[in-house]
Structure 1
C-alpha cells in the first residue's frame, strides 16, 4: 500500500518546509498530495489543490476572502474550504491521511480539517503551539496527533528537519497500519475514571458484551470526555452510559481538566439514548505540580499522582452542579435516564475515606432530586455508585430500552459475522 497523504500549509510563506515534507512522505513510501491554503501569495510549486479550489469549497473566491476584513476572517474562511475539500477527498477515496503545518494561524485551520474527518483517518498537526492550553478541548479531533514544531518560525534548519521528518514518517506509518473502527456490533460508551475511583465498568463490560454489544470506556480526565462527546455527536454509539461527570464539574470550577462547555450535551443532541449518573462530580481536578487554588485551600485534598490532584467542592457548589446537569439533560432529544446513587458517588467519599463529606453529598442529592427534568427518567437508589445495586439498576434500564426498541438489539455471534 502506498498511503496518499494530504499535506496542508501556506505555500507562499512555508514553501521550503512543505517541499521538504513532500520529499519525506515519498521517502517513507507515501504519495504526497499538496493542498495550498495561502491567501495573498502563491507557492513556487504547483499544488494538486490550489488556494482557488480551497476558496471554491467554501463557496467563495480568494478575492472575497482577501476583502473579508483581516487575517482572522481570511483564515477562518480558508479553514472552512480546506475542511470541506479534505472531507470530499476522503469520501472520494483519494486520501488516506492528512498532515498540516502551521503556527497559530495554520494550527487554527488544521484543527478544523481534522474535525471534518472521521475517527481512524490519520491526522497529524505540526504546530508551534502543540499541547498548549491555547487549544480548547472541543477543537481537538478524537484521534489527533500533534508534534511541537521546534525551530519552526522561519525557514528550514536541522532542528525543524528532525521534527518534520518524524511527523511525515508517523503519518505515513499510521495510514499504512491503522485499523479503522469496526461496527460489527452496536457500540455502548461508558464514561469512568480509574478503577480505584469508579469501578462499575468492571461488572458492566462483560454483561453488555454478553448481550452482543461492543463496549468502549472513556477515561474522563479531560480528553476522554472530549472523545466521547465527539463520537456521540457523529452518532457513533447505540447508547451512552455517562456515569462519570467530573469533567463537567471541573469546567464549572474553571479547571484546566475540562472537555469543553458542551460536556453531557452531544449524545442527547444527536438522538443517542443515554443513561446518566453523577460519578465523581464532587471532585475538582488541578495539576499536582501547581499550588492548590486559593479558593480550595481549606477543602479536603487528594493527590492521585505527580500530574493530577483533586479537592472537593462544598455543598453549595454541588447544588450548582446538580442544576447544571439538569439543564443539560433537558436538551436531550432521545431517551434519557438519570440514576441518583444517594449512598455516594466515588470511592473516596465513603466513611473512613479522605473525601467523606456526608453533608455536602446530602446537599447534592437534595438538589438533584429537583433538578432532573420531566423528559428524563429518574431512578434513585440508596446505594453507592460502586455497588452491585448500581450496576443492576443500569442494566435493568438498558434491558428495558432494548425490549422497547429504544436501543438496537445486540449482535449475536451469528449476526455479527453475517
Structure 2
C-alpha cells in the first residue's frame, strides 16, 4: 500500500533513466508512481502508465501526424496541451496527489502548462535545466509552482544530477503528504495589499470579514502575488474581491516586470465575482533592482526599497492614464464593481511630509477618477485616507449590502 501517488512526467525517449531514477526514489520512500510519457519520436524502455499516444490524442493529434508535420515546437505544444488536459482530469478524479516534471527548455515549456492546469494546493515540482532563468516569464508560473535546477543533468545520470533528482522526489512526496488542500468550507474573500505599513486596511478588515463567516486571503501586489490572485479569480475561487492595491497595473503600463500580468483586474469580473476596488498605491511605480529604467523615467528620483525593488512616483498625466485604465477594465466586468476613492491619500507615504507626497499630481488623479468612474461602475468618494477606519467601514458597508441582496454568495 502507498499513501500518496505522484505523477512523473517527461520525455521518456531521451530521459528514461533520469525519470525512472526519480520514480524509484519515490517508491523507496513509500510513495506510488503514475508515469506519463510526453515524447514524440522515440519510445520508453518499458511502457508508461500513460503513453505518448494517449497524450497526443488528448491534445487532438496523433503521434504520426506530429512527426509528419516536422516541427518540433509545434509537436511539443500539442503534447503539452494533451498532458495538461489529462493531468487536470486525472487529478480531479483523485488518481494522483502531486506531480514532478523533468525537462530541458522544451520539457520545461510543457511543464509550465501542465502545472497551470492543476489547482492551487496540488504539489507541483519542475526539475529543469533552465529553472529560475530569465527566459521563463513570470506569467507562465502557476501560483504554487516549485522549481529545482537540474544541475549537471543535460545528458545521463551522474552524482551531481542525482542530488537534484532525489531532492525533487523527496520534496514532491513530502509535499503531497503534508499539504492542506484548500477546503472551501467557507466562502473566500480575495484582498490585495502592499505590505502592512504602507497599506493598513487588512488589519481592520480581516477580523470583521471572518466574523461574517468568510475566509480572507491577502495577496502581496508585487507581481507574483497579483498573478496568484488573478489565477484564483479566473477559476471563480472568490465570493468577492477587495482589490485595494493596484500598483501592478501602473507598473504594467510603465513596462516594469513587477506587474500582475496583462489580465490584471479582468478575471474577477469575467468569472462573475463582485468587486470592491480602491486605488491603493496607484501613485507608485516600481522596477526590479536589476531592470534598466526606461528613458522616459530617468528624469525622476528613484528610491531603492531594497536590492530587489526601486520605486518612484507617477506624474500627473501618468496617474490620469492609470485612472482611465482602471475604469476601462472594470467596465468589462459582468458583475457589480464599486470603486472607493479616498481623497486624502491612497498609501501611507503620500501623506504630507512623506516621500511620495505630491498634492498636485494626486489632485489630477482624483479629478480623472471622478470623470471616468461612470456606469456601470458605482463610485464613492470618501473624505479620508485609505488607512483610516472610515475606509474600512465603507468597504464593510458595501460588503454587507451585497450579502443582503444576494450579490455575494454566503455558501460555497
Question: Shared fold (TM-score greater than 0.5)?
Answer: yes
Residue in 1 aligned with 2:193? 192
Q: Are the equivalent residues in 2 in contact too, given 1:212–1:410 (CA < 8 A)? A: no
Q: Which moved more, 1:147-156 or 1:284-293?
A: 284-293
Could you tell me how far 1:130 is from its partner in structure 2?
1.8
Q: Are the equivalent residues in 1 in contact too, given 2:239–2:410 (CA < 8 A)? A: no
Matches of 2:388 and 2:17 in 1, distance apart? 60
Could you tell me how far 1:287 is from its partner in structure 2?
2.8
Q: Are the equivalent residues in 2 in contact too, given 1:301–1:355 (CA < 8 A)? A: no
Q: Are the equivalent residues in 2 in contact too, given 1:211–1:410 (CA < 8 A)? A: no
Residue in 1 aligned with 2:38? 37
Residue 211 in structure 1 maps to residue 194 in structure 2 = no
1:223-372 to 2 correspondences below 5 Å = 223-288=224-289, 293-372=294-373
Q: Are the equivalent residues in 2 in contact too, given 1:28–1:168 (CA < 8 A)? A: no
Note the residue ranges of structure 2 that are not aligned, 5 or more in a row.
none
Could you tell me how far 1:133 is from its partner in structure 2?
3.2
Could you tell me how far 1:408 is from its partner in structure 2?
1.9
Matches of 2:116 and 2:404 in 1, distance apart? 35
Residue in 1 aligned with 2:121? 120
Residue in 2 aligned with 1:79? 80
Q: Which moved more, 1:104-113 or 1:280-289?
A: 280-289
Residue in 2 aligned with 1:136? 137
Find the residue that maps to 2:185 and give its secondary structure: coil
Q: Deviation digits for residues 342-395 of structure 1, max 9, x if unmatched?
A: 211111111100111111111211112222241111111121111111111111
Matches of 1:27 and 1:296 in 2, distance apart? 56
Find the residue that maps to 2:173 and give its secondary structure: helix
Matches of 1:285 and 1:164 in 2, distance apart? 37
Matches of 1:194 and 1:303 in 2, distance apart? 16
Residue in 1 aligned with 2:382? 381
Residue in 2 aligned with 1:174? 175
Q: Deviation digits for residues 168-202 of structure 1, max 9, x if unmatched?
A: 10000011111110212111111001111111000
CA RMSD of aligned residues (A): 1.6
Could you tell me how far 1:136 is from its partner in structure 2?
2.6
Note the residue ranges of structure 1 that are not aligned, 5 or more in a row.
412-418
Matches of 1:301 and 1:138 in 2, distance apart? 26
Q: Are the equivalent residues in 2 in contact too, given 1:315–1:360 (CA < 8 A)? A: yes
Q: Deviation digits for residues 293-345 of structure 1, max 9, x if unmatched?
A: 54333324333223222111111111111111111111101111111112111
Residue in 2 aligned with 1:415? none
Q: Which moved more, 1:132-141 or 1:34-43?
A: 132-141
Matches of 1:345 and 1:162 in 2, distance apart? 48
Matches of 2:410 and 2:261 in 1, distance apart? 32
Q: Deviation digits for residues 23-79 of structure 1, max 9, x if unmatched?
A: 111122211211000011112221111100101111221112223451121111101
* Misfit runs of 4+, over 6 Å: none
Matches of 2:247 and 2:73 in 1, distance apart? 34
Q: Are the equivalent residues in 2 in contact too, given 1:282–1:318 (CA < 8 A)? A: yes
